[in-house]
Amino acid sequence: MRQLVLASFVITTFASLAHPQCRPSPTVRNAIEAANKAFVASFNSGSAAAVAAMYTSDAQLLPPNSPMIGNHQGIQSFWQNLITAGIKVVRLETKVVEACGDTAYEVGGYEFTIPTAVGGTVTDHGKYVVIWKKQGRRWKLAQDIWNTNAPAGG
Amino acid sequence: MRQLVLASFVITTFASLAHPQCRPSPTVRNAIEAANKAFVASFNSGSAAAVAAMYTSDAQLLPPNSPMIGNHQGIQSFWQNLITAGIKVVRLETKVVEACGDTAYEVGGYEFTIPTAVGGTVTDHGKYVVIWKKQGRRWKLAQDIWNTNAPAGG
């Protein structure tokens, strides 16, 4: 019986190794949604340093209308510029999360408000993909790309 | 000795399962680079159907200046519109690939040419993230997002 259990375990384990998978994980999705809430809170409170601290040390930020930003100071400066411009994040909405060990990818939608010259705001809706890496107990952003839904020149 | 080998195998296997990982894989990178070459060839030869066939049946296309496109016909129409507009893909350049079983993520750079009204072309440089899924022997695009490096309104 012990041999049978062991054999069964070995076969199951082999099958898992032969086809390791990225799969939906409620636990990881919850952790990422919590991280996104922290991101929004830090951004809206004006702390670019706290936002930048949510990225891995080798993260790449891939913003629209900018070359890739591949260093921590550059990532902090990028977010600082948006904070200084008065942009606020209304919403990050997770739509898809698949977890694969210490890596996960997320697809979501965002909503920003941007101040206008005449004292109002315009809202920008768009979408993003983030590659997350778990470091210690924290999920951190390793690759971060997004774009707007608004028509070009809009 | 056999017990020792088996125990060693079981421990190694357990360790792998406890920390399944996404890691660089030359094999997967080569397959994705080959798929990108096929994508460029199909696009530049004007076959939106062949391009769309490279996406999984539940793929999501996340283009700039457009809502998310979540169906096969919509993906084909999107690429058909760019082909009809005379856009050509000069280059897809893979920069990062990490593979996790049947899933991989890729970060890369693109170069398109866009015809101008006066008969020339302008070149658009940008970056992208693709989530790939292996289906049978083929790697297919499951999530595809990109944006331009050019300044806004440029």
Q: Given pLDDT bands bounded at 50, 70 and 90, which one contains residue B10?
A: low
* Token pair 């056999």 in the structure block, residue: B2
Residue in chain A lying closest to B102 (CA): A21
> Minimal CA–CA distance to B64: which of A129, A96, A57?
A129
Which chain A residue has the Cα nearest residue B64? A147
A9-18, A145-154, B15-24: segment of lowest average pLDDT: A9-18
Q: Count of alpha carbons within 13 Å of A37, Cβ hemisphere only?
A: 6
Closest residue in A to B142 (Cα) is A107
pLDDT at position A15 is 45
What pLDDT digit, counting tens, does each position of B108-137 carry?
999 999 999 999 999 999 999 999 999 999
List, for residues A11-47, the tens digit of each pLDDT value. 555 444 444 579 999 999 999 999 999 999 999 999 9
Report how far residue B7's alpha carbon sits from residue B14's, in angstroms, rounded to the nearest whole number: 10
Chain A positions touching B60 (Cβ under 8 A) are: 96, 107
How far is residue B142's CA from residue B130's CA, in Å, rounded to a whole number? 7
pLDDT digits (tens, 9 = 90+) for A61-102: 999 999 999 999 999 999 999 999 999 999 999 999 999 999
Contacting residues of B for A134, CB less than 8 Å apart: none
Q: Which residue has the tokens 């949510």?
A: A54
CA distance B98 to chain A (A): 10
Question: What is the distance between the alpha carbons of residues A116 and A122, in angstroms, rounded to a whole number?
Answer: 7
Nearest chain B Cα distance for residue A60, angstroms: 10
For range B46-72, the mean pLDDT: 97
Strands B88-100 and B55-62: unpaired
Partner A contacted by B67 (CB < 8 A):
yes
B140: how many CB neighbours lie within 10 A of its CB? 17
Q: Check B100 against A20: CB less than 8 A apart.
A: yes
* Residue B41, both tokens: 């060839």
Cα dihedral A40, A44, A45, A47 sign: positive
User: What DSSP character marks residue B80?
Assistant: H
Please list every residue in chain A whose beta carbon sits closer than 8 Å to the beta carbon of residue B148: 64-65
Nearest Cα neighbor of A39 from A147, A141, A126, A145 is A141
Beta strands in B5-137 (DSSP E): 55-62, 88-100, 103-115, 121-135
CB within 8 Å: A64 and B102: no
Q: Where are the domains of chain A?
A: 22-147
Pick one of 3.10.450.50, 3.30.43.10, 2.40.50.140, 3.30.200.20 as the CATH number of A22-147.
3.10.450.50
Q: Could you report the predicted ipTM of this complex, rounded to two decimals?
A: 0.88
Residue B21: pLDDT band (50, 70, 90) is: confident
Best of B17, B19, B62, B135 to mutate (most A CBs within 10 Å, chain A): B62
pLDDT at A145: 98
| CA–CA separation, B48 and B25 (whole Å) | 29
Query: What is the model's pTM?
Result: 0.88
| Mean pLDDT (whole number) for B15-43 | 86
Secondary structure (3-state) at B96: strand
SS3 content of chain A, % helix, strand, coil (to 5): 35, 40, 25
Each residue's pLDDT tens digit, A105-117: 999 999 999 999 9
> What is residue A84's predicted lDDT score, i.e. its pLDDT?
97
Architecture of domain B21-147: Roll (3.10)
